[in-house]
A and B are shown apart, each in its own frame.
Chain A
């Protein structure tokens, strides 16, 4: 494996423009107080990106602390069960802390240190980003506060305990539906108060510029490794690459190198799996790209679940990590441009895929990642029995035991 390099700042494809727009999406829509701080952050990020010492420090942590590269595992029993020629799983679940989130928190916390900030805050839904941030803060000796909705605290109590154990303060957010969107708002409000000494570690490709591009770049290690592993394993053809999309960071990290480095004619079908919750017509889902319309939330312009007056709607998904009414602006751009397809997966399909992956491969995927796995049987029908598909298993499912049990995956 070659060392993983951060993508350069001057590539042709979809680096957002100078004001942070991917086509019409993205931008910076925040109170004036934070505007100068975002400008400082962008400058610091560009400097770090151009500094080989930064890449070296990050790559060493990714290798020795996270355990990268994560394997690209050939899942033959899952392929057989879903009627596909081959299925490869990109094992982000094997990362330290159990998900892709740590790729980004290490990058951002290193940047925070460079900027002289010793206190970090973060929002979390499923708790994976909260745990990754708390872990990184412990590693780097930083003060850490994690904002988490009360409903998510209920759904993900194990991760709450982990964060506290790691020395982070978990701040319960009892507004709205007590889920990810409310946690983001609370973290943004807190940040406005403490911008001078606090770095906001956003966990997905959302928020005001430069976060969507920066988080994507830190997660691009996933796709970069995958492309190298395809070559290494001499896999002659890949028909599709799937990743789940809430805010969309694991998908952006997987897709971006394919969009950037692989010529169109050789590029596999890229598919994002959104949360259809109880069904797209039920009104209880998190499918911003499939059912939303463009609007501004949390500082950026993107597809959004909103009412006629422009208020954000409450999203719903069995998966706390996909339970978000917006989506990263780059995904909105990729959808409009037809460069990535976005399909929606219900709670039930995700739970079925969770069970199937667990029982055919002995790999317990996160309920978020199970949304991506759920597309496998559909792709078999669409692409035929010889199709070769890569799925990004963005995290492990240990945290989801109670949820899948409640959803009826009893063990007799």
Chain B
């Protein structure tokens, strides 16, 4: 069970409390979202939370510091991967991002607008891989075999399968053809496969868990970030459903 938390939302303390709540709820991996002003892969819940966090002065550097504080205080915390768009990384500079993240104990990066075959990916991986930071690339329903090969080869930790066309956010139903998509991805990798985008309820999470190694829940968690007790109970329900 991969839980997405938006850094700096509703404020710094609130997002730290949310990290602790999802950890207590039993999340296996935490995906910590970096607020960004042009979140082109995200739906309204994450976009709005990101804007609120931006207004709180949160960006990539603040998010890494938050992760460091959380991981430093909880020796048994689940691994934290940052979900960030490319430009904040470029602005801070790849070497500095990699160094700061490694010092904070961040395990990995998920960068939705960094294609695995881009020269920019080469430049990032050269900095991050020697420091033990994993980069997870995304597979989409539209990805042809050659791209699945490329993104699987470059992914470390797991491969993130985007369940359906469109942006992040809860949907009433899981995408049709999801099982076939996951099977297609597995032909190209031996890494664990996590599925995200459009998974928002314990029932959906249980369905996805039958075919994937991991289930990513984002918007449904971010909506509950203001209330740590409710969030913890929700994550516990998700984890229970996934572990069935």
Q: Which residues does A use to contact B, with CB under 8 Å?
A: 19, 21, 27-37, 175-176, 181, 185, 188-189, 192-196, 295-299, 301, 304, 306, 308-312
Contact = CB atoms under 8 A, between A and B. Distances in A.
Nearest to B84: A310
Nearest to B167: A189
B138 to A, nearest CB: 5
Contacts, number: 120
Given A33-B142, A309-B61, A311-B37, A192 B114 contact: no
A310 B87 contact: yes
Interface in B11-30: none
Contacts of B61: 309
A297 B38 contact: yes
A37 B142 contact: yes
Given A28-B118, A309-B60, A299 B165 contact: no
A19 B119 contact: yes
B220 to A, nearest CB: 19
A36 B36 contact: no
A175 B42 CA distance: 14
A308 B215 CA distance: 34
A19 B207 CA distance: 39
A19 B144 contact: no
B142 A296 contact: no
Interface string B126-161: 000000000001111111100100010000000000
B113 interface: yes
Contacts of B85: 296
B6 to A, nearest CB: 15
A308 B61 CA distance: 11
Contact of B166 (A29, A192, A297, A308): A192
B176 to A, nearest CB: 13
Contact of B147 (A32, A193, A195, A298): A32
Contacts of A35: 115, 140, 142-143, 147
Contacts of B36: 310-311
Contacts of A299: 40, 113
A31 B40 contact: yes
Given A32-B139, A310-B92, 9 more contacts: A32-B115, A32-B138, A32-B142, A36-B147, A189-B40, A192-B40, A309-B61, A310-B87, A312-B37
Given A29-B86, A36-B142, A310-B91, A19 B165 contact: no
Interface of B: 36-38, 40-41, 47, 54, 59-61, 85-92, 112-115, 118-120, 137-144, 147, 151, 162, 165-167
Contacts of A31: 40-41, 112-113, 138, 140, 162
A29 B120 contact: yes
A151 B177 CA distance: 40
Nearest to A21: B119
A34 B143 CA distance: 9
The 3 closest A-B pairs by CB, nearest first: A310-B91, A309-B59, A311-B37
A124 to B, nearest CB: 18
A207 to B, nearest CB: 11
B40 A188 contact: yes
A81 B23 CA distance: 72
A52 B147 CA distance: 32
Contact of B118 (A29, A33, A295, A304): A29
Contacts of A29: 86, 113-115, 118, 120
A310 B118 contact: no
A19 to B, nearest CB: 7
Contacts of A296: 85-87, 90, 113
B115 A28 contact: yes
Contacts of B114: 29
A310 B115 contact: no
A32 B137 contact: yes
Given A30-B113, A193-B166, A36 B143 contact: yes
Nearest to B111: A29
A369 to B, nearest CB: 28
A23 B196 CA distance: 36
Contact of A19 (B37, B112, B113, B118): B118
A295 B147 CA distance: 25
10 contacts: A27-B119, A31-B41, A31-B140, A32-B137, A33-B141, A194-B165, A196-B165, A310-B59, A311-B38, A311-B54
Contacts of B87: 295-297, 304, 306, 310-312
Contacts of B120: 27, 29, 301
Which of B89, B141, B147, B166 has the most C-beta atoms of chain A within 10 angstroms of its own C-beta? B166
A220 B119 CA distance: 29
Contacts of B165: 33, 192-196
B139 to A, nearest CB: 6
A390 to B, nearest CB: 36
Nearest to A182: B38
Contact of A310 (B41, B88, B119, B167): B88
A312 to B, nearest CB: 5
A306 B91 contact: yes
Contacts of B167: 189, 192-193
